[in-house]
């Protein structure tokens, strides 16, 4: 049985936790830019994973369906009618 992916709220919560920890690492006297960057990287990773989940899978057979707008009436079309 495949592992169930965490929900959107859960992933966003993890990203927010890392953002808060990055902010704490940059706040006050114990400025730790390295730690802050690690947390920012983790937050970005969480959100990228969420973004990848939202993308539609590509067609496997190579066929692509493209929808076109209806043709606009052109002056030349009106004259010939």
37 pLDDT band, cuts 50/70/90, is: very high
Q: Looking only at Cα atoms, what is the longest distance across the chain?
A: 80
CB atoms within 10 A of CB 4: 6
| pLDDT more than 70, % of the chain | 59
- Please report the pLDDT score of residue 49 as a whole number: 87
Please write the tens of the pLDDT for every residue from 13-29: 999 999 999 999 998 78
pTM of the predicted protein model: 0.57
SS3 (DSSP) at 51: helix
């Amino acid at each position: 049985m495949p592992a169930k992916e965490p929900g959107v709220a859960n992933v966003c919560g993890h990203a927010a936790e890392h953002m808060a920890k990055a902010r704490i690492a940059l706040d006050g006297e114990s400025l730790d830019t390295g730690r802050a960057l690690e947390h920012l990287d983790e937050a970005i990773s969480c959100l990228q994973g969420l973004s990848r989940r939202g993308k539609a899978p590509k067609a496997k057979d190579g066929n692509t369906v493209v929808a076109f707008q209806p043709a606009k009436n052109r002056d030349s079309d009106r004259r010939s009618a």
